[in-house]
Amino acid sequence: MPAGPTQVPERLVIIGSGPAAWTAAIYAARANLNPLVFEGAVTEENRVSGTLPLGQLALTTEVENFPGFPAGDLSHYLRSALAADHHWLVDMHHKQGVSGPELMHLMRQQALNFGTRIETDDVVAVDFSGRPFSLTAMTGQLVRAHAVIIATGARANYLGLPSEERFKNRGVSACAVCDGALPRFRNRPVVVVGGGDSAVEEADYLSKFASTVHLVHRRNELRASKIMADRALHNPKIRPEWNSVVAEVLGDEEKGVTGVRLQSTTDQSARQLDAAGMFVAIGHTPNTRFLEGQVEMTAKKYIKWTVPFRTNTSVEGVFAAGDVADDYYRQAVTAAGSGCQAALDAERWLAAKGI
């Protein structure tokens, strides 16, 4: 059980459950800081906004670029490393390397092995104005902590159209790898919105299931890296729809999404595309709303690292790691690296304070 308001404050609370959070927990647990991790709550709201526990990697399939996990049959290793109640993950994967959910469960398990305590709950408010800090969870529990590591990551952006909201989970999605294989999209046309690496990656993935993938981009040139852009543009199933934005998602109560209305960005013209779904891939927003007014952020609401090459924030004793403070690299391995840094920074700060 975590400490209540009248109990001894936690030495270190870690908020988040992606690679940054679990790496911080592994290091902190091994340093005998007895960390408490708030991994997030399993709620419908978190599912819809893409903020369920285990973060964005849990929404992907194969992870080919995390060092130490080359392609190959890892199933024997995975079964031996994961608790029995997670062996289903291994059984459902095609055994050519590690999947995102497997990688996250491995990290979580590794943190547990060293004694990390985990609360499956969201931190919804913090008070960093005095030490020990106060954290309030969604279930109402109040925890005090001498040091905090924020590793809450980022989530996918949507266009913000009322029609998009209306059809979320009925054809509108921000995660092709989560939803693309659903029967409703098989051999049907779909739309992907965006021009970055995420958009072309999603379009490529969806081309395995859909009849045509319309890649709707507001300019006439992709932002994606050349190799990924070329792959998408040479894919016969992917049709770029240049200089266009989605003005409205079309559909009805029975079928969900049936198409989109496109508006040109270069003239006044509009047209419709038939589509069974729309996948939005237009960037991310950091999960920092619960920190408003408590810690310095950038204009895009990412937490500011205030000391070069350190994970310190504007609040002494509060550290940040991973995508919540990094809109540039945004990789599992860089998030894990900064999680390690944050744990070491917190450990040294606590030691210097004699806590």
In angstroms, give the least distance from the CB of 133 to ligand NAP.
Answer: 31
Residue nearest to ligand NAP (CB): 196
Per the omega criterion (within 30 degrees of 0), is the bond before 240 cis? Answer: no
DSSP state of 312: B
Comparing CA positions, the residue from 245, 244, 277, 265 lying closest to residue 174 is: 277
- Pairing relation of β-strands 62-63 and 256-264? unpaired
Q: Of 30 and 330, which CB lies nearer to ligand NAP in the complex structure?
A: 330
Interface positions with ligand NAP (CB under 6 A): 159, 193-199, 201, 218-219, 223, 245, 281-284, 330
In angstroms, give the least distance from the CB of 71 to ligand NAP.
Answer: 16
Q: Of 59 and 257, which CB lies nearer to ligand NAP in the complex structure?
A: 59
Q: Of 123 and 176, which CB lies nearer to ligand NAP in the complex structure?
A: 176
In angstroms, give the least distance from the CB of 246 to ligand NAP.
Answer: 8
**Alpha-carbon distances, residue 71 vs 66, 100, 319 (angstroms):** 11, 13, 34
Distance separating alpha carbons of residues 83 and 105, to the nearest angstrom: 9
End-to-end Cα separation, the chain, in angstroms: 21
Q: Of 199 and 249, which CB lies nearer to ligand NAP in the complex structure?
A: 199
Catalytic residues: 175, 178-179
Compute the 3-state secondary structure of the chain and give helix, strand, coil in percent, each to the nearest 5: 30, 25, 45
- Contact call for residues 135 and 290 (beta carbons, < 8 A): no
In angstroms, give the least distance from the CB of 323 to ligand NAP.
Answer: 10
